[in-house]
Amino acid sequence: MATSLKVAVIGAGVSGLIAARELQRESHQVVVFEKSHRLGGTWVYDPRFESDLLGLDPNREIIHGSLYKSLRTNLPRQLMSFIDFKLNDKTYGDERLFPGHEEVLKFLEDFAGYFELTELIRFNTVVTRVELVDSEIIEFEVESKTNGVNTVEVFDAVVTCNGHNSEPRTAFDIPGIEKWSKKQMHSHNYRVPEPFRDQIVVVIGNGPSALDLSREIATVAKEVHMSSRSPHVKVSKSEKFSNIWQHAKIDCINDDGTITFEDGLSIDAHIIFHCTGYKCHVPFLKTNGIVSVQDKRIGPLYKHVFPPQLAPRLSFVGLPERSLTFLIVECQSKWIAKTLSMKISLPSKDQMLRDIKEHHGDIEDDGFPKAYTHFFEIENDYIDWVSAQLGMNVEKKFAEMFKYIIYCAISGNYDDIMNLFKVKFGI
């Protein structure tokens, strides 16, 4: 017989919304905690930025959003959709295949309205503590704060959907960087290009933020020097932008403040711009060491979702990075909801732990650092695996589309992705 549980969902971004819908479908009693006054998480553009541009001060006021003003999606509408509620079937004023961020937010608001999820959300309510009260039956105390008032409640299960794009990760291991006295900032705090006008900028990173923001700041900056640790980047001058250069990794920062790249060039820059991604951050979770959060790894987690010792009562949605987020979080949410209602069973704790050990071992054997634990460009079969648990067949074309986007990005066609995609898929 199906079981109905009292479940806390933390966060009302893409992950929290889809988790709430799937839990509701399984007749669980759902409360969604959202610290902001509106739903959408990342997709709510916030023009404010943090006072500490690198996000190092633990006492700073944290701004959740990392979107910049001009951002368009880096995936087409088809890949920013849920299985039965698709962005490519709708338009909210921006019909482009790769729309601006406002379109995605309107889509999420429409989704929440359509499935009556808004009623489940407690806005302006930050979760400050999630603690295991009884490890035998597994229950959690959830402490939250609304307008200064603290509340403590007990839940049968907690689904963590708090997002992982708010806590900057910086490149502070560069020799000599501690001597750099000029400006540094992280892409988390980037909104518009104006502060880079006439500046010589070193951009560290090789992901979508580094690639997009280099191009945007090049419209006003004097010079943009991109630096990447990846052995695959080609040291070169951009053919399309007269003021962008791609370098190898930074060798060191010298006593006179110049920056030397491994390709031998040294430059005198005004700004170091860290486009180096984010750390996982779950400050409210107290599990006596059962779950640990280190840099970009939360573990141990079976298939990036369940800590074996607390499964299925504690779960995480949305950890996969560089992935088909919408589809993956939908599959993860269905899996969690059905596992909580005991329609799907998990392997034994030992089997789950063995699987995790193997996964971590594979990452090491392939020469990737721990930070790649939830990095999905290297993990192809995940959607197939999770959807198989659900007895579902996810159309292969989504994975094909995603792989093509990645292929274009790594094969030097980043500036033409949108057109190449349209041609390839006849859209």
Q: In the bound complex, what is the minimum distance in angstroms from residue 79's beta carbon to ligand FAD?
A: 7
Nearer to ligand FAD, 244 or 282 (CB): 282
Q: In the bound complex, what is the minimum distance in angstroms from residue 15's beta carbon to ligand FAD?
A: 3
Q: In the bound complex, what is the minimum distance in angstroms from residue 1's beta carbon to ligand FAD?
A: 31
Is 333 an interacting residue with respect to ligand FAD (CB under 6 A)?
no
Interatomic CA distance for residues 199 and 223, integer angstroms: 7
Is 78 an interacting residue with respect to ligand FAD (CB under 6 A)?
no
Q: Choose the binding region for ligand FAD from 13-21, 226-234, 264-272, 304-312 (rule: CB under 6 A).
A: 13-21
Site string for ligand FAD, 121-160 (x = CB under 6 A): -----xx---------------------------------
Assigned token pair, 252: 């060191």
Interatomic CA distance for residues 226 and 245, integer angstroms: 6
Is 193 an interacting residue with respect to ligand FAD (CB under 6 A)?
no
Total residues contacting ligand FAD by CB under 6 A comes to: 32
Strands 149-155 and 139-146, by their bridges, are: antiparallel
- Candidate residues 20, 42, 99, 387; the one interacting with ligand FAD per rule CB under 6 A: 42
Assigned token pair, 328: 């993956």
236 bridge partner residues? 246
Q: In the bound complex, what is the minimum distance in angstroms from residue 414's beta carbon to ligand FAD?
A: 14
Triad 10, 11, 13: Cα angle to 5°:
150
Is 205 an interacting residue with respect to ligand FAD (CB under 6 A)?
no
Is 165 an interacting residue with respect to ligand FAD (CB under 6 A)?
yes
- Sequence letter at residue 234: K
CB 16 within 8 A of CB 317: yes
Site string for ligand FAD, 274-293 (x = CB under 6 A): ----------x---------
Interatomic CA distance for residues 239 and 188, integer angstroms: 28
Distances (CA, A) of 70 to 40, 213, 263, 308: 17, 10, 32, 41
Burial of 196 (0-12, 13-18, 19+ CB in 10 A): buried
Give the 3-state secondary structure of residue 170: coil
Q: Choose the binding region for ligand FAD from 38-46, 54-62, 269-277, 393-401 (rule: CB under 6 A).
A: 38-46
CB 298 within 8 A of CB 292: yes
Residues engaged in binding ligand FAD (CB under 6 A):
10-16, 33-36, 41-43, 64, 66-67, 73-75, 80, 126-127, 161-163, 165, 209, 284, 318, 325-326
